Structure 1
Amino acid sequence: MGDRLFVGALGNRNSGKSSTWNDLFGATVRRGKYSRPLELRAGECVDVYLVSGSFEERNEYAGDILDDQTAKIVLCSMQYTEEVSKTIDYVTKSDFDIFIQWLNPGYSDEDQYFDRLGLVNLLLAKSASISMRSGKLATEGRVAEIREFIYGWARFRDLIVPCD
């Protein structure tokens, strides 16, 4: 069991990853330099660091950004490309607990697609938790799933604090 949590929204381009984060925070959010509070339940917050806009899209290495982050919880967009394996490798070598929500089909995808990159097997071999949700449906269900996963993980580690 790790002392940091990595929550990834995985999908093709325009699959609904950013919409997931926006709805989780209740506002349009972008990557910042610092962590921010995330309200999980009324008056209960946890400190998170958000990577909206995947490392794969930005041609960045996860370690260059995340090595300096002190937040125990990282939320991250992940683009379904071969390059995402570098992000997965970094996260597993850094002893994060991993929860991935795969948006399949994504909002702009024609239909559900096969895991041609073998990411599900790779993630399961690393003891990750994975859910597959449709990016074509309203975000409420998948956002609630992420919120509850984070809440349980953070509550167990006594990371929940009153919101300011």
Structure 2
Amino acid sequence: MADRLFIGILGHRSSGKSYTWNALFGKTVRTRRSPRMLELRPGECVEVFLISGSNEERKQYAGDVLDDQSARIVLCSMQYVESVSSTIGYVLKEDFWTYVQWLNPGYSDTDEYPDYLGIGNRLIFSGATVAIRSGKDGAQSRIKELREYIYGWSSFRRLVVGG
């Protein structure tokens, strides 16, 4: 298994994916070409690469964005549409450790929806951790969960700086 971590936020359009990243960083963040530091605990940070707008919305292949990235931790928005299978396929092919928060229902969804694309089963069968969370609820518990997961994975590998 590659020693890289993929953290995905999955959901429909306007489900709260970008809101989740903004809350995690404590400010508005967008995709850029280089990694950035994410504070996990006061004074303790880890390097991450963020794809804030989903590859599916941008009509781009995840491999084209990630192949040249050296950051060990990738944070990525994923839109719940058929073409997300391309992003998931790349992540599984590259053998990332994978954790996905699926916002179901998303902020703008009227209700929960079934996994009509089979994404949850595909991820779980491939060894990913999948957590279904409501995008309608406040983001604080989701953010805490993300921080703790990233902190545990990265501290075990001595990637956390500061502290």
Question: What's the TM-score once normalised by structure 2's chain length?
Answer: 0.98
Runs ≥4 in structure 1, deviation > 6 angstroms? none
1:37 aligns with 2:40: no
Number of paired residues? 163
1:15-164 counterparts in 2 under 5 A? Answer: 15-162=15-162
CA drift of 1:112 comes to 0.4
Gapped runs of 5+ residues in structure 2?
none
Whole-angstrom CA distance in 2 between matches of 1:117 and 1:149 = 26
Whole-angstrom CA distance in 2 between matches of 1:121 and 1:138 = 26
CA drift of 1:97 comes to 0.4
Q: 2:5 maps to which residue?
A: 5
Gapped runs of 5+ residues in structure 1?
none
Task: Output one character per residue of 1:88-109: Cα deviation in whole Å (capped at 9) or x when no partner.
Answer: 0000111110000000000000
Whole-angstrom CA distance in 2 between matches of 1:103 and 1:137 = 10
Cα RMSD of the aligned pairs, angstroms, is 0.8
Whole-angstrom CA distance in 2 between matches of 1:95 and 1:35 = 20
CA drift of 1:2 comes to 3.2
Question: What's the TM-score once normalised by structure 1's chain length?
Answer: 0.98
Percent same amino acid among aligned pairs? Answer: 61
